[in-house]
Each structure stands twice: as structure tokens, then as C-alpha cells.
Amino acid sequence: MRRISWLLAVFTCVVALAWTSSSERVSLAQDSEGDQPSLQLTRVIEGPMGAVWSVSYSPDGKTLATLGQDRRVNLWDVASGRLVRTLTRDAEDFNSVAFSADGESIVTACDDGVRLWQTTTGKQLRVFAGHSKSVTSAAFSGDGKTLASISVDNTARLWEVSSGKELLKIDVAARGAPKLAFNPTGKSIATVGYDLAITLWDASTGAELHSLKGHTISVSAIAFSPDGLTLASAGADKSIKLWNVETGEEARSLSSATAALAFSPDGLKLAAGGTDKTIKLWEVETGSELPGFVGHTGSVYAVAFSPDGATAASGGKDMSVRIWDVTSCKQLECIEGHGQAIRAVAVSPDGKVLASAGGNSRRSRIEEWTTKLWDLSTGAQIQRLDGHTDIVRSVAFSPDGKVVATGSEDKSVRLWDATSGKALHVLAGHTASVGCVAISPDGKTVASASDDSTIKLWELESGKEIRTLKGHTDRVHCVGFSPDGKSIVSASSDETLKLWDVASGDQLLGIAPSVSKIYTVAWSPDGARIAVAGEQPIQATTNWRKIELWDVKSRKMTHEFAGHAAPIWSLAFSPDGELLASASDMHEVGISDAVAGEPLFKLEGHVDCVTCVTFSPDGDSLFSGSLDGSVRVWQRAKPKDEGK
């Protein structure tokens, strides 16, 4: 048997795509000491964020603001975990977020300035213009009357909130992504640039008060204590330093790999979000480490205490915001992912772009039905295709990669310009959900399969309907063109496969596999075989669902073998026809030998139903999408002697 090994790389969508090397599942267990339990997950709430960079509580503790890799500011109701409002702009350029002292407004640092928003409506109130380059951080003074901001234009500026007037400009060393903190007393601000020093400035005059030097590598976070007497800083040198604001002297040094800092409201505790996936707690006066919070599956980038100190919120690389009960040591909520379950994935013919599509049920708190295009070399989102009004269940590229087709539960097929994201055509005609779309190899015809039991053929160029193929008596789940483009195969809940002539629309033949409720079918690259799978167990005494391989010419089944212990939703042949990938309800991807007709191994890492699989054109990568809101990229490991 051929030995095939795979390496796992994960990037997550769909509001933001983030590379990570972790494939761990959340593991929550009792602490070994027994008297300090690890935090227990009691609820999971989905929300559009990507990796979470910033979290901030409103002064009344009822609202949580988050800023994620998708550069959106999301406002959440803390009690219910419900998404209340999203602040967005045409340019996705939010860099920081903070509430005013009265909670009525929010300040955001943006690439083009500082912006003030009304919390209750999400309306933009004011733009503070003056910085000539990207603003990386902004903060209110304790009384909410003054704003401070810092920019890569090498300045920090203070603004009068009520008028928008610039009060003060301070020249700072601000290369990279400079950081700023406003002393709650309003007397000083702290800035971090590129010279490893933290500088304290007089907020009234702009005069330098102290230069705090001690970190040996870049400073990753700074935070003032509530009384304004202590400044905490964290460095990439894996140290946390506490500074006396009045004297500028280092008061204490702690050891921790930290990306975020926050003082408790009473100033007695310091929370440190770490690159080790934990949140450590320290007693400020003594420097003693207290029992911390464990639950994140990636680096923690943000942490904040609620105003009453009863809860803490954290966000990080695992694309979740977690809310912790500080007193009882229980995790109350977990706001995860991008808010959109992945239903379909496709790779452009040149292998450079990934399309992911999906959406949540209308019963979900977050209704987002979109398709996103990602640059596979960088993981960056390059287009967002909005227009469908219900879950997007299928996506396909044209052979030249210029057009994307999507099918939705809103009963429509939409065609999009892959470069500009512009909607080209809306193909209306189905009377029920469109579960699958495909584009012919010559790029001229679009096929759509629907729950209305029909298949429709459309002209790609004009969007006009060519014909409707009728013959199935139940939902048509899947449709695909043969490699030569002359035939179409369709799979239905009526337990049949049908082959159709594209030119005439005539049914060529019907195949009745033993698989019931056929959910997926795939052509081999040479067009000689068809793989089919669905609901049917191999035997009544087992849950194992089988995969069948059929020879098209002879209409005979050549192989059947165990696939997964749950329904199989998607199949894909590798470009060389040697491997068959399968997506399962079991949260796993199966890899089978498509020549010998036998299962090889499983790829595990998803934490919900895997809905779709597809190979890259070169066969080196496999993409899987899941209801857990992630797309995982599995890289085929090459033999050591390959390429020598």
C-alpha cells in the first residue's frame, strides 16, 4: 500500500482568515490541585471576528466591544452573548477600540484617523483629523473629556472630545505599531515606540516625564493601574515590569510570555494574556502568582476586567472571546469563530485563490450569508461577495478563474466577477433551495441542482436559462460535469444517480446505488469512474456509511468500503485520481485509496460537521470546510528524496 502522510496547517474564516499551526481542540479539565478548578465551558456563542485583538467593557459592564482580525468592531450583550451591533466602514481599518467614561460613545483608531461613534446607534459622530498616517491606538481620559491617540506618523495627539479640537501634539518615536495608554488621573500618557523604552508624558504640556527602560526586546503591552500610580508593561523578553509612575523606577519584575495586560478595578490583581494560551493572574503588591484562567487554544491577545471586577473577558488567536467568572473560576461564555458555518469551498484553477461560502440558520443570532475569496499565499481576504439572502450552499470557479458561481437556500444562483467582486447575474427560476452549482469545463454553461427535484442549465455569459432537466423525484443534492463537459451526473434523495447529455438534456442512464439519501457524487479526473456516498450504513448492525465507486461505461460498482460512522456530505478525487477525500458528520476528513477502493486514514481537527472537501489543482493541498466556522488546509508531505 502506498504510504501517504499529511501535515496540517489551519486558516480560519469567514470574516477573517488567520494562519495558525494549532489543531488542538479545547481541553477543559479539573486542576491537579483540586481546590482551584480549571474554567468550565458552559456556552458557545458564534460571532464574526477572526483572531481577536482587543476587548473592552462598557462602564456599566453590560456591553463588550471586540475588535478582531476582520477589522470590525462588534458590540455584544454580556448577559446573553448576543451580537448587538457591528461598526463597519468601506475600508476595514480599525486598529483599536475603547469606551468613553459614560459609555455613550466609542473611540476607534483607524488607518485614516480617530473616529467617535455613538454606542446605542452605531452612528459616527466625529472624525479627529490631524494624523498623516495610520493611527494605531486611541484612549479616553478618566473623565472622558479628552482623547489621546498615537500614529506611525511619529506623533501622539490629545483632542477635546466635545469639539474635536486638537489640544496637543507630541513628537514620539513610533515606528511599527506604537502603543498608548492614558493615565486614569488624566495627568499623563504612556507611549511605546521602537526603541524598547516606554515614555511617560505630561498630558497638559507634552513634556517628557520619564523614560522607562528595562525590557530587552520590544514591548507588547502597557496598562495603568486604576489609581494611576503604577504602570505595567510586558515585553517579548518574557517579562512583565511594574513601574512607579511618580519616580519612573522599576518596582517589580515578573516572568511571563505576555501579549495583553489588565488591572482589576480595585488594582489588586494584574491579568496577563499569554502566548502560552493561558491568562495568568498576579497579586500586584506581592508579585505572587494566583490561579489563572485556562481554556484558550491559541495565544491570548486581549484581556479586560468588567467594571465590578466580577468577570473578565479575553480574546485571542483561536478566534474566540471568553468571559470568565473571576470569583467562582468558571468560564461563562465563549464567543467563537467568524459567525458563519462553512458549507462549501472551491479553489481557483491556478491554485491561488480559495472561495469559502456558507451562513447560519435564520434561527441564529447572526444572519450572515456570504462568500469570501482568500489569497492562499498570504491568507488575506481579497473579496467579499454579498447578495444572497439565505445560506450559501455551493460555490464554483469558472475554468479561467474569472467567474464565481454560488447557489443558495434563497433559491437563486449568482454569478460574480472574481477580481472585482461585482455581481454579474442573478439566475432565478428554481422554486426551492439550490444545493449545488457547477461550471462546465469550457466555461460556457452553469448547472444548478435544487431541492425542487430539478437541474437547470444556464448560459454563463448572459445568465439565461437553457433548459431544465427533470427526472428525479426528490431533492437533488449534487451535480457535476464530466471532465469532457459532455455529460452531467446528478445525485438525489430518491436514491438514484442520473447521467444527462448536456447538449440535448436527455437522460443517458440511471444508476441505483445501494446508498440511500445520496448526498454527494464526484467524477474521477479521467471521467471513467464516479464516487458516491450518503446516508446508508454498510449493514443494519453498524453505523459505518459506505462509499461506492462505479465504472461509468459498464454501469457496474467496482468497489464499496467503509467511509465514516456518520453521513458523508462531500467527496473529491485528487487530480491524479489516486486519492478520494470525504467529509463527514463525524468532524473528520477521510482519505481513501481510490484505485484499490479502501480507506487509508482520517484527518482530525475540526470540532463540528465537515461539510465540504476539495483538492488544490496540483494535488498538494486538501481543503476542508466545517460548521465549526473554519477552513483547514492539509498539506501533503513530500518524500525526502523528492526533487533531488
pLDDT for residue 45 is more than 70: no
Residue-wise pLDDT tens digits, 212-239: 998 988 888 999 999 999 999 998 889 9
Please give the pLDDT value at position 21. 25
Please give the pLDDT value at position 536. 57
Task: Answer with the residue of higher pLDDT: 133 or 90.
Answer: 133
> What is the Cα–Cα distance from 144 to 162, expressed in whole angstroms?
10
Half-sphere exposure of 332 (CA within 13 A, CB side): 15
Please give the pLDDT value at position 50. 58
Please give the pLDDT value at position 335. 53
Please give the pLDDT value at position 89. 66
Bridge partners (DSSP) of residue 437 are: 448
Work out the average pLDDT over 142-148: 93
Residue-wise pLDDT tens digits, 370-389: 898 888 777 677 888 999 99
**Cβ 374 vs Cβ 418: under 8 Å:** no
Residue 473 φ/ψ, nearest 5 degrees: -115, 5
Here the cell at position 132 is 498623516
DSSP assignment of 544-565: PEEEEEEETTTTEEEEEEEEES
Please give the pLDDT value at position 83. 74
**Cβ 222 vs Cβ 233: under 8 Å:** yes
> What is the Cα–Cα distance from 208 to 559, expressed in whole angstroms?
77
Question: ω into residue 14 within 30 of 0, thus cis?
Answer: yes
Residue 193 φ/ψ, nearest 5 degrees: -115, -135
Please give the pLDDT value at position 27. 24
> What is the Cα–Cα distance from 579 to 519, expressed in whole angstroms?
19
> What is the Cα–Cα distance from 453 to 491, expressed in whole angstroms?
10
Nearest to 74 by CA among 90, 91, 60, 53: 53
Residue-wise pLDDT tens digits, 400-453: 999 999 999 999 999 999 999 999 999 999 999 999 999 999 999 999 999 999
Q: Would you say the pTM of this structure is higher than 0.85?
A: no
> What is the Cα–Cα distance from 391 to 408, expressed in whole angstroms?
6
Please enumerate in sequence order all residues whose Cβ is within 8 A of that of 424, keeping only pairs 6 or more positions apart, or say none: 403, 415, 416, 417, 463
User: Using 50, 70 and 90 to split pLDDT, how confident is the model at 366?
Assistant: very low
> What is the Cα–Cα distance from 80 to 45, expressed in whole angstroms?
9
Task: Answer with the residue of higher pLDDT: 161 or 555.
Answer: 161
User: Using 50, 70 and 90 to split pLDDT, how confident is the model at 28?
Assistant: very low
User: Using 50, 70 and 90 to split pLDDT, how confident is the model at 572?
Assistant: very high
**Cβ 11 vs Cβ 19: under 8 Å:** yes
Please enumerate in sequence order all residues whose Cβ is within 8 A of that of 35, keeping only pairs 6 or more positions apart, or say none: none
pLDDT for residue 241 is more than 60: yes
Q: Provide the terminal-to-terminal Cα distance of the chain, rounded to the nearest Å.
A: 24
| Amino acid making up residue 66 | T
Work out the average pLDDT over 268-272: 93
pLDDT for residue 266 is more than 90: yes
Nearest to 260 by CA among 217, 306, 313: 313
User: Using 50, 70 and 90 to split pLDDT, how confident is the model at 313?
Assistant: confident
Work out the average pLDDT over 51-55: 78
**Cβ 443 vs Cβ 399: under 8 Å:** yes
> What is the Cα–Cα distance from 191 to 183, expressed in whole angstroms?
11
User: Using 50, 70 and 90 to split pLDDT, how confident is the model at 334?
Assistant: low
Please give the pLDDT value at position 364. 39
Cα distances (Å, whole numbers) of residue 246 to 187, 197, 198, 265: 11, 17, 14, 20
pLDDT for residue 1 is more than 70: no
| Amino acid making up residue 309 | G
Please give the pLDDT value at position 131. 93
Number of H helices, E strands in the chain: 0, 58
Element (H, E) at 240: strand 239-244
Mean pLDDT of the chain: 82
Residue-wise pLDDT tens digits, 82-129: 778 888 765 557 889 999 999 999 999 988 889 999 999 888 999 999
> What is the Cα–Cα distance from 146 to 457, expressed in whole angstroms?
62
User: Using 50, 70 and 90 to split pLDDT, how confident is the model at 332?
Assistant: low
**Cβ 51 vs Cβ 68: under 8 Å:** yes
pLDDT for residue 629 is more than 80: no
Residue 136 φ/ψ, nearest 5 degrees: -100, -20
Work out the average pLDDT over 232-250: 93
Please give the pLDDT value at position 32. 30
Quote the percentage of the chain above a pLDDT of 90: 45
| Amino acid making up residue 411 | K
Nearest to 157 by CA among 145, 146, 168: 168
Please give the pLDDT value at position 637. 60
User: Using 50, 70 and 90 to split pLDDT, how confident is the model at 176?
Assistant: low
CB atoms within 10 A of CB 473: 11
**Cβ 242 vs Cβ 255: under 8 Å:** no
Work out the average pLDDT over 7-32: 30
Please give the pLDDT value at position 38. 30
Total residues belonging to the chain: 644
Please enumerate in sequence order all residues whose Cβ is within 8 A of that of 600, keeping only pairs 6 or more positions apart, or say none: 1, 4, 579, 591, 592, 593
Task: Answer with the residue of higher pLDDT: 473 or 275.
Answer: 473
Please give the pLDDT value at position 25. 24
Work out the average pLDDT over 250-279: 91
Please give the pLDDT value at position 168. 95
Please give the pLDDT value at position 360. 63
> What is the Cα–Cα distance from 408 to 414, expressed in whole angstroms?
8
Residue-wise pLDDT tens digits, 483-494: 999 999 998 888
